[in-house]
Amino acid sequence: MKAYNVAVVGATGAVGNEMISILEQRDFPINELRLLASERSAGEKLSFQGHNVTVQQLTEHSFEDIDIGLFSAGASVSKTFAPHAVNAGAVVIDNTSAFRMEPDIPLVVPEVNPHAVERQRGIISNPNCSTIQMVVALKPLHDAARIQRVVVSTYQSVSGTGRKAILELETQTRHIFNQKDILCQVYPHQIAFNCLPHIDGFMENGHTREEIKMVKETKKIMEDDRIRVSATTVRVPVFYGHSESVNIETEKKLTAQEAKALLMRAPGVRVVDDPSRNLYPLAIEAAGEDDVFVGRIREDDSIENGLNMWIVADNLRKGAALNAIQIAELLIQRGLI
């Protein structure tokens, strides 16, 4: 079996760490693992398959002999360095927003639009975490009944922002309990015991960029511009796991039972939905898991063909690192690499 040279760009970040774990857990066929990060982190050692791998400083020459570049170090790093990786012959799977909406660049969730990888010409984008988990759950319902409109409100964990945000929630919580003043360095307001209706920057129309990502990326991944999406994205004091309250309107009627049956056989979905035993998806239970969890599936009587559901996934895994590595696996399966 062929083995590949894989570079992880942003190796010391929350998603980079998760990528390394997942490559190991899934026995990804690796010849060389090259860990790349900024100058500040170069020299750190990270464990992979029982060995220490030294993090190297990312430069334009970092990609010699690399087959697959997994990028997760921010959009500006991707914009600067992904072209160097492609020129060196690598396929880049980019976890940032840098190229997602470029028409020529596939935006892929393997359970939803695996065929889109065929169009790749060096760069494949990994969607936003909130979008990935939503479309995995919506795809089987869209195929069966055509989704016309989605109204989604998110409950996003701090790990989506990165390692510093995880520390900020922890530190603020400790300080509140110890009656010390709290500092807000990552978020503009206290996140401990609070909810912030603000993820990514604000646009002129009052929406955040995160909200617009959910609108646009959903259409692109589902390959259907007729799906209308309204999103409100909210940061909550949870460490790992994004939850979403999703309301959909379909063209054809789907009962809750029909939707549940479709979701139970959908790839990458685990239905957890037994209210009589207080079973529904929970962020703390999704953390560390690969699946997208769906529950609270019920009919919304406020419209003719309405459904509500609660969708939860590990934002660092399915929402980022796992999805990227699944794309790499798809490239291998299809002989594209």
Active-site residue list: 129, 242
Binding its own copies (rule: CB under 8 A), the pick from 58, 266, 297, 331 is: 297
Q: Please say which residue, 52 or 205, places its beta carbon nearer to its own copies.
A: 205
Q: Please say which residue, 179 or 205, places its beta carbon nearer to its own copies.
A: 205
Do 125 and 234 meet the contact criterion of CB atoms below 8 Å apart? no
Local structure of residue 264 (DSSP, 8 states): H
Q: Please say which residue, 146 or 228, places its beta carbon nearer to its own copies.
A: 228
Residues 246-265 that bind its own copies (CB under 8 A): 247, 256
Instruction: Return the beta strands (E) in the chain as ranges.
Output: 4-9, 30-37, 45-48, 51-54, 56-57, 68-71, 91-94, 123-125, 147-155, 228-232, 242-250, 269-271, 292-300, 306-313
Stretch that binds its own copies, among 12-20, 102-110, 112-120, 291-299 (CB under 8 A): 291-299
- By CB under 8 A, tell whether 228 contacts its own copies: yes
Residues 111-150 that bind its own copies (CB under 8 A): 149-150
The Cα 159–Cα 140 span in angstroms is 28
Do 10 and 74 meet the contact criterion of CB atoms below 8 Å apart? yes
Count, residues near its own copies per rule CB under 8 A: 56
- By CB under 8 A, tell whether 72 contacts its own copies: no
> How far lies 143's CA from each of 139, 223, 252, 328, in Å?
6, 11, 11, 25
User: Hey, what are 134's tokens?
Assistant: 């939503």
Do 130 and 214 meet the contact criterion of CB atoms below 8 Å apart? yes
Residues 262-281 that bind its own copies (CB under 8 A): 275-276, 278, 280-281
CB of 25 to its own copies, least distance (A): 24
- By CB under 8 A, tell whether 5 contacts its own copies: no
Stretch that binds its own copies, among 5-13, 49-57, 100-108, 198-206 (CB under 8 A): 198-206
**How many other C-beta atoms lie within 10 A of the C-beta of residue 143?**
13
- By CB under 8 A, tell whether 313 contacts its own copies: no
Binding its own copies (rule: CB under 8 A), the pick from 36, 109, 165, 229 is: 229
- By CB under 8 A, tell whether 189 contacts its own copies: yes
- On whether 80 is known to bind a ligand per the annotation, the reply is no
Q: How many CA atoms lie within 13 A of 281 on its CB side?
A: 28
The DSSP secondary structure of 141-196, one letter per residue, reads HHHHH-EEEEEEEEEB-GGGT-HHHHHHHHHHHHHHHTTPPP--SSSSS--TT--B
User: Hey, what are 119's tokens?
Assistant: 């169009």
User: Hey, what are 4's tokens?
Assistant: 């590949």
> How far lies 141's CA from each of 149, 260, 265, 331, in Å?
12, 9, 11, 26
Binding its own copies (rule: CB under 8 A), the pick from 146, 163, 175, 198 is: 198
Q: Please say which residue, 297 or 331, places its beta carbon nearer to its own copies.
A: 297
Binding its own copies (rule: CB under 8 A), the pick from 206, 225, 265, 335 is: 206
- By CB under 8 A, tell whether 186 contacts its own copies: no
Residues 146-185 that bind its own copies (CB under 8 A): 149-151, 153, 155, 170, 173-174, 177
User: Hey, what are 204's tokens?
Assistant: 């002129």
- By CB under 8 A, tell whether 315 contacts its own copies: no
CB-based contacts of 212: which residues, under 8 Å, 6+ apart?
203, 231
Residues that constitute the known binding site for substrate: 156, 235
| Binding region for NADP(+) | 12-15, 40-41, 159-160, 315
Instruction: Give the footprint of its own copies on this chain (CB under 8 A).
Output: 149-151, 153, 155, 170, 173-174, 177, 188-190, 193-198, 202, 205-207, 215, 228-230, 232, 234, 236-239, 243, 245, 247, 256, 275-276, 278, 280-284, 295-303, 306, 308, 310
